[in-house]
């Protein structure tokens, strides 16, 4: 049996999309490898696969949109894989330009991009038909649960639970992601093990809010308010921090920044995708991400002045928002 490689995002939607692929292709009992990635390093993950994939193998990339710096390298690797008889299929729901879609198809990949749903939904809606099967009732329920969280609808009773135990993307590691993926692929949306992990997460989430509060910095001029907070490892998840910043500081754009320059942007009314794109990233109108260079002096200052990272990121994002014309213009 040919091998299945899945390159997917680290969050709940990425894990849900991968689980849907595994279930649809009948690989629940094995025959697949999952590799987790961020948009800025997807080319590195594909490169790791390239040395192992053989003719007839299938590489599926899910929940990963084009990143300005990474995508051009990813295209070359996709072209090399398909030239060797490795099938590549890319299923996503982020914003793509026509040029990027054409380039990916020209490299030999089959592409489905559905902006009307989450990545799990895109897999459930498009993958079965292309592989000669149908989505069962469980897959449709999985789509509802995951999209409820990923699209910020929060209209399913399990969405906040699964999002909390998997949504922050950094506190459980790939071993835990693999375990949840296996459960979801087998038709298990919730069990006692997940409940125990949720209770542990909630305790650490409350502690995390206290640390994060000390890092908040805001920029507000010309009817545009940007509120930024610095995040370390562990909970709360970026989306929960973003919701807190938007509400408590009446911000138009919330920024969650890490010491490595990773940015997560959130908003209720402003389209943050052009802002992220201007900074080399991408995503959705209400939730996007990018990565910036953090000067050494800022990183050093942040060790004794917690707001230093937030101060720097807020100013960078504010400038990009004004130049993009999406906020206060």
Q: Could you tell me if residue 195 is inside a domain?
A: no
Give the pLDDT of residue 61.
98
Do 268 and 176 belong to one domain?
A: no
Total domains present in the chain: 2
Q: Could you tell me if residue 311 is inside a domain?
A: yes
Query: Residue for token digits 């982020």?
Result: 94
Do 178 and 284 belong to one domain?
A: no
CA 308 – CA 111 distance, rounded (Å): 41
Range of the domain at 235: 214-324
Do 37 and 179 belong to one domain?
A: yes
Q: Could you tell me if residue 10 is inside a domain?
A: yes
Do 57 and 141 belong to one domain?
A: yes
CA 229 – CA 305 distance, rounded (Å): 13
Q: Are 119 and 21 in contact (CB under 8 A)?
A: no
Do 22 and 99 belong to one domain?
A: yes
Q: Describe the strand order of the beta sheet including 32-37 as a list of residue ranges.
A: 32-37, 4-9, 58-62, 87-92, 110-113
CA 249 – CA 139 distance, rounded (Å): 38
Q: Are 9 and 61 in contact (CB under 8 A)?
A: no
CA 223 – CA 221 distance, rounded (Å): 6
Q: For each of the chain's 329 residues, which pLDDT tens digit applies?
A: 799 999 999 999 999 999 999 999 999 999 999 999 999 899 999 999 999 999 999 999 999 998 888 999 999 999 999 999 999 999 999 989 999 999 999 999 999 999 999 999 999 999 998 899 999 999 999 999 999 998 888 899 999 999 988 854 444 689 999 999 999 999 999 999 999 999 988 888 888 888 899 999 999 887 799 999 999 888 888 888 999 999 999 999 999 999 999 999 999 889 999 999 999 888 888 889 999 999 999 999 988 998 999 999 999 999 999 999 888 65
Task: Tell me how many degrees the CA angle 156-123-187 measures, rounded to the nearest 5.
Answer: 55
SS3 233: coil
Do 89 and 221 belong to one domain?
A: no
Give the pLDDT of residue 167.
59
Do 118 and 239 belong to one domain?
A: no
Give the pLDDT of residue 172.
62
CA 68 – CA 71 distance, rounded (Å): 6
Do 168 and 238 belong to one domain?
A: no
Do 34 and 182 belong to one domain?
A: yes
Give the pLDDT of residue 169.
44
Q: Could you tell me if residue 207 is inside a domain?
A: no
- Provide the greatest CA pair distance for the chain: 60
Do 245 and 126 belong to one domain?
A: no
Domain of 306, CATH number, reads 3.10.310.30
Phi, psi dihedral angles at 269 (to 5 degrees) = -120, -20
pLDDT digits (tens, 9 = 90+) for 9-48: 999 999 999 999 999 999 999 999 999 999 989 999 999 9
Q: Could you tell me if residue 208 is inside a domain?
A: no
At 41, list the tokens: 């390093």
Among residues 78, 69, 82, 70, the alpha carbon closest in space to that of 43 is found at: 70
CB atoms closer than 10 angstroms to residue 223: 9
CA 38 – CA 257 distance, rounded (Å): 15
At 127, list the tokens: 């993958």
pLDDT digits (tens, 9 = 90+) for 171-192: 468 999 999 999 999 999 999 9
């Amino acid at each position: 049996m040919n091998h299945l490689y899945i390159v997917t995002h680290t969050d709940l939607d990425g894990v849900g999309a991968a689980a849907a692929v595994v279930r649809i292709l009948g690989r629940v009992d094995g025959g697949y490898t999952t590799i987790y990635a961020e948009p800025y390093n997807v080319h590195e993950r594909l490169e790791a696969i390239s040395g192992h994939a053989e003719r007839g193998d299938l590489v599926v990339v899910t929940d990963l949109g084009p990143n300005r710096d990474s995508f051009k390298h990813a295209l070359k690797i996709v072209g090399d894989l398909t030239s060797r008889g490795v099938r590549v299929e890319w299923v996503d729901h982020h914003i793509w330009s026509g040029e990027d879609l054409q380039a990916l198809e020209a490299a030999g990949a089959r592409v489905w991009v559905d902006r009307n749903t989450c990545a799990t939904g895109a897999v459930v809606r498009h993958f079965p038909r292309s592989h000669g099967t149908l989505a069962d009732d469980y897959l449709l329920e999985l789509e509802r649960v995951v999209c409820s969280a990923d699209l910020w609808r929060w209209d399913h009773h399990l969405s906040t639970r699964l999002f909390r135990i998997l949504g922050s993307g950094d506190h459980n590691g790939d071993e835990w992601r693999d375990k949840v993926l296996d459960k979801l692929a087998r038709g298990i949306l919730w069990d006692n093990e997940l409940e125990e992990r949720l209770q542990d997460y909630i305790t650490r989430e409350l502690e995390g809010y206290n640390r994060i509060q000390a890092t908040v910095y805001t920029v507000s001029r010309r009817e545009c308010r940007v509120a930024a907070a610095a995040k370390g490892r562990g909970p709360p998840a970026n989306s929960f921090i973003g919701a807190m910043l938007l509400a408590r500081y009446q911000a138009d754009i919330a920024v969650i920044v890490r010491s490595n320059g990773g940015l997560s942007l959130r908003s209720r009314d402003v389209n943050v995708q052009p802002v992220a794109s201007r900074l080399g990233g991408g995503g959705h109108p209400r939730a996007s991400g990018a990565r910036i260079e953090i000067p050494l002096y800022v990183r050093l200052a942040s060790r004794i002045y917690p707001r230093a990272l937030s101060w720097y990121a807020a100013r960078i994002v504010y400038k990009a928002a004004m130049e993009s014309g999406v906020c206060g213009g």
